[in-house]
Amino acid sequence: MKYADLHIHTNFSDSTFTPEEVAACANNVGLSAVAICDHDCVDGIELCEKAASSFGIEVVPGIEFTVEKEDAEIHILGFFIDYKAEWLIKKLKDMQESRINRIHAMVAKLNGAGIDVKAEDVFKLAGRGTVGRLHLAQAMIRTGKVKSFKDVFNKYIGFQKPCYVSHVRFSPKETIEAILKAGGVPVLAHPGIMNRDEYIPELIGYGLKGIEVYHTDHKASVVKRYEELAKEYGLLMTGGSDCHGMGKGRVLMGTIRVPYELVEKLKAAAGKNTL
């Protein structure tokens, strides 16, 4: 059997793994394909493709976008996007800049709350690509004022917590349309984290084609719920580890995998794009 992990980050967003390390890790855990889905960034895809080809591993070009709806944060994956499209690269550049401003804004709030974290340290941790809350969390822990990721997100920078600042400028509809315009397949990431199943029909109306049923944060009962929901709405069922290298404490690649046929199904769905 051939297997794929369809949700992996590189250090172009908030993983500690380089694209080359992602390829080597995928080889070690016996995967035949991986989807690189960095937050608002496509710069790791080609490097990973190069490294993975020497192992005979296929790389699915992907992305992970964040949108908001009322009181929920929604993550949307795009598979088989044309990551060289100029308009997309320009849009991503804008989003990356807005992420930098947002770090300054969150750092100001945190300083006001007595956490002596410096924006420059966050940017140093982030390196190339996009900067995000996981980098900020790491810098906050280094100050010694906060003890754990759990505290960091629950007390300070989790969605709508006191020091949270949004960087989202596109609606769910605009985001799904952008993925379709880039020739990609829009899929709802880890819906169990969002836990707002009532939003799903609206997203399908905008062109959502699948949901990430299998994910490291989905327990068995949640998986079952989304398998049923996917069948009910005729959605593709994807799955991935959401591996952030050591960014979340341990390497998750290899813990969630889906049959390789799903890659073919996504490829076919991308081919049928009409937008």
Question: Per CB under 5 A, which region of 71-79, 213-221, 223-231, 257-265 contacts Fe ion?
Answer: 71-79
Q: CB 36 → Fe ion: shortest distance, Å?
A: 13
In angstroms, give the least distance from the CB of 52 to Zn ion: 19
Report in angstroms how near the CB of residue 9 gets to Fe ion at its nearest. 6
- Residue 14 touches Fe ion, criterion: CB under 5 A: yes
Instruction: Mention every residue, 6+ apart, whose C-beta is less than 8 A from residue 80.
Output: 60, 61, 62, 183, 184, 185, 266, 267, 270
Q: Which residues contact 110 (CB under 8 A, 6 or more apart)?
A: 117, 140, 156, 157, 163
Q: Is the dihedral of CA 198, 202, 203, 209 positive or negative?
A: positive
Given a contact cutoff of 8 angstroms between Cβ atoms, the answer to whether 152 and 140 are in contact is yes
Nearer to Zn ion, 117 or 240 (CB): 240
Q: At what angle do helices 172-181 and 86-112 cross, to 10 degrees?
A: 150
Contact between 7 and ligand AMP per CB under 6 A:
no
For residue 206, which amino acid is it? Y
Would you count residue 215 as binding ligand AMP (CB under 6 A)? Answer: no
Which CB sits closer to Zn ion, 34 or 119?
34
Q: Which residues share a beta bridge with 258?
A: 4
105-164 residues in contact with Fe ion (CB under 5 A) are: none
Among 214, 242, 266, 270, binds Zn ion (CB under 5 A): 242
- Letters for 61-80 (x = contact with Zn ion by CB under 5 A, - = none) are ---x----------------
Q: Please name every residue paired with 39 in a beta bridge, in sequence order, or none if there are none.
A: 64
Length of the chain: 275
CB of 82 to ligand AMP, least distance (A): 22
212 binds ligand AMP (CB under 6 A): no
In the block, which residue shows the tokens 């690649």? Answer: 253
- CB of 111 or CB of 194, closer to Zn ion: 194
Residues that bind ligand AMP (CB under 6 A): 14, 39, 66, 132-134, 149, 153, 158, 244
